[in-house]
Amino acid sequence: MTPTTRRGFLALAGGSAVALSIKAESLNARQLPGQPPSENSGGREKDFSNVMAIAAHPGDAFFAMGAPVAVAAHLGGKGSLLSLSLGERGSPTIPAEHYGASQREAAQKAAALIGAQALFLPYPDGEIPINEEAKFAVCDLIRQYKPSIIVTHWKGSWHKDHRACSDIVEDAVFYAGLPAIVRKEPAHGVRKLFYADNWEDATGFTADTYLDITAVFDVWMNACSAFPMWRGETGFRYNDYYGSLAVTRGCLSNFNRAVALMSPTEQRVQHIRTP
């Protein structure tokens, strides 16, 4: 077994992570003892003025991606949560038609509680297609809502809908930003894409960005409780998992509550100028 020092552990845990705080003045206090300096944001929180979560199912949008959207609303900006399907086949006991309607209702209620908007596309749960029609449908919503940041699924997932969503979003962001692709709305360049920390998408997920969600934690948790599945009705205790994950990620980033995000490889490239 490799001896683990406190410094080594924190370096491993923090890596070269970026810590994003809503309170810019508190950034200097966010260095953990013994941890090598990470790149702190001095003003990038302004990017969180318009955040769109794009998920395969409403539960993913709110539980794994909802807190950054709540941050946008808290900052006085705009937030939207797009579900590619209603997750209507997710209940072991309730018929899909009824469950889908209740999922839609819960998403609308939860979105209102965090001051955001719930959006839907009509793909069947379990059968979200990876095709140009779906990519352009998402592209059109990106152009319409103009998010500066998009949070979506990491492709390292056991769930085929989550992998499909990740693929669709990456291409939709590309299409949305190309002026030569003429759609109803003009081109819109998304500033950053992030992958969410989701228990179903854990293969190869490596956090590189921590977002302080302390100010929105209670509002976000309350919004999630609009979904019956939040409390474990479908077999997984989402409330316990995501509530304690925010505490755990907060410990690692020295925020009270935090979510961890992962950047696409190309977004991690840094340019360091020398004199």
What is the spatial order of strands in the sheet that 149-152 belongs to?
39-40, 18-20, 209-212, 258-262, 192-196, 149-152, 50-55, 78-83, 117-120
**Residue among 56 and 164 whose Cβ is closer to Zn ion:** 56
- 79 phi and psi angles, rounded to 5 deg: -135, 145
What residues contact 38, with CB distance under 8 A and at least 6 apart? 14, 15, 16, 17, 18, 19, 31
From the CB of residue 53, how many other CB atoms can be counted at a distance below 10 Å? 30
60 binds Zn ion (CB under 5 A): yes
* Part in contact with Zn ion (CB under 5 A); list of ranges 30-38, 53-61, 97-105, 252-260: 53-61
- Least Å distance, CB 223 to Zn ion, is 17
Whose structure tokens read 């009705």? 233
Question: Closest separation between CB of residue 264 and Zn ion, Å?
Answer: 20
C-alpha–C-alpha distance, residues 116 and 125, integer Å: 23
Single residue of 20, 35, 57, 211 touching Zn ion by CB under 5 A: 57
The window from 43-51, 59-67, 171-179, 205-213 that contacts Zn ion (CB under 5 A) reads: 59-67
| 74 interacts with Zn ion by CB under 5 A | no
> CB of 200: closest distance to Zn ion in angstroms?
6
Which region, judged by CB under 5 A, interacts with Zn ion, from 25-33, 57-65, 139-147, 222-230?
57-65
Which CB sits closer to Zn ion, 252 or 262?
262
Q: Does 257 bind Zn ion (CB under 5 A)?
A: no
Query: How far apart (Å, rounded) are the C-alpha atoms in residues 275 and 196?
Result: 37
Q: Is 243 helix (H, G, I), strand (E, B) or coil?
A: helix
Least distance from C-beta 193 to Zn ion, angstroms?
19
Binding site for Zn ion (CB under 5 A): 56-57, 60
